[in-house]
Amino acid sequence: MVGLPSRARDDFFDHWHKVMANSTIILHTILFENEIAGYLCSFVKEADEREVGYHLGKAFWGKGIATQAL
């Protein structure tokens, strides 16, 4: 897990607008029992290599949700 600090609300939305403007991004919402549990994303970073990342709310950890989403 990456220990990234939380962003202030405005900084968070500024960051996500940049993320969503990236033409290589694939972004999906992860649902668990009709609740938004987090997101899954994939993007091209360097040397045309695709990377995958995800985030789950703490209440959803340890349930195999990220594994199933990936």
Are the beta carbons of 28 and 56 closer than 8 angstroms? Answer: no
| In the predicted structure, residue 60 carries a pLDDT above the cut 90 | yes
Question: DSSP letter at 20?
Answer: H
| In the predicted structure, residue 1 carries a pLDDT above the cut 70 | no
pTM score, two decimals?
A: 0.73
| Predicted confidence (pLDDT) per residue in 36-50, tens digit | 999 999 988 878 888
Where does the pLDDT of residue 65 fall: very low under 50, low under 70, confident under 90, or very high at 90 and above?
Answer: very high
The residue ranges of every structural domain in the chain are 23-69
Query: What are phi and psi for residue 50, nearest 5 degrees?
Result: -85, 135
Give all strands of the β-sheet with 35-44 in edge-to-edge order: 26-32, 35-44, 50-56
Are the beta carbons of 35 and 59 closer than 8 angstroms? Answer: no
Spatial separation of the C-alpha atoms in residues 62 and 51, rounded to whole Å: 22
Average pLDDT over residues 43-66: 90
- What's the chain's average pLDDT? 88
